[in-house]
Amino acid sequence: MLNDLQNRITVAKVGEYKFIKHRYIHRFVFFALLLLFWEFIVRLELYPRYLLPSPADVVESLYFGFKEADYLLAILESLRRLVIGYVIAVILGSLAGLAIARYRFLDNSIGASLTALQSIPSVAWVPLALLWFGISEAAVLFIVVLEAFIPCALGVRTGAITIPRELIRAAQTLGSKNIDLYVRVIFPAIIPQFVSSLRLSWAFAWRALIAGELFVAGLGIGQVLELGRSLADMSQVLSMIIIIAILGYLSDNVFFRSIEKRVGKIWGLQTIQ
């Protein structure tokens, strides 16, 4: 009887400890402390209210923006551009990555160049895009495609060249060649790396989109952000930053990470929790 009671107490303590260690509890505490610190700095009045609004001011701006200022339309327009550019980049990047992995001279030339180009910030491409395409949606799509193309191509290339040569030779010995070799061996083997590159490409595309929309006329998150800056409306600027952060978190942690974990389980790979 006493041992049973002790076991129940131990299980209860362990359950309580796991609850405290839950990552969502950690995130909630962190953001709660961040909001308190933000409110504390505002109340110290170290900066004018128009430069550092309170959390309540930002919430009010968000409410007004979604109700009256077409924030939802701006978000949908930005997501439309993002998806179009991202799909184009993934298709081109996948083909380029396979070609680079297949031919050594392409790897030595284009592959090395892509590694260098990846270090260039997306905002550095804006002047070039504006000169080539003008102040238009094509300029934004160019920046998005270019930024998302590079990590996708490099990811596919890395996945292809790391396939064990013995596996490819064994498939060739069994009669698998050309397209059949790609369908049966290469494509399945690079899927884990390909999914990781998709996630990275989305992050690059998202940042490139905002950078491009800052300088291009039309509806979009970047334009609303730039409008808030020009009007010295810091509440609107912070509102857009919060929206960008939330959309980025949802797309990365909810969508892509779940796919990555699923693929990791199917392929027998250990994923980081």
Domain chopping of the chain, boundaries: 2-44, 55-266
Whether the per-residue pLDDT at 123 is higher than 60: the answer is yes
- Categorize the per-residue pLDDT at 7 as very low, low, confident or very high, splitting at 50, 70 and 90: low
Question: What dotted CATH number matches 55-266?
Answer: 1.10.3720.10
209/223 Cα distance (integer angstroms): 11
Q: What are 41-81's pLDDT values in tens digits?
A: 888 888 888 888 988 989 998 898 888 878 899 999 999 99
Contacts of 124 (CB under 8 A, 6+ apart): none
| pLDDT at position 39 | 87
In degrees, to the nearest 5, what angle opens at C-alpha 251 toward C-alphas 248 and 257? 120
pTM equals 0.82
Q: How many helices (H) and strands (E) does the chain have?
A: 14, 0
- Categorize the per-residue pLDDT at 268 as very low, low, confident or very high, splitting at 50, 70 and 90: low
Contacts of 95 (CB under 8 A, 6+ apart): none
Show the tokens assigned to 242: 């919060």
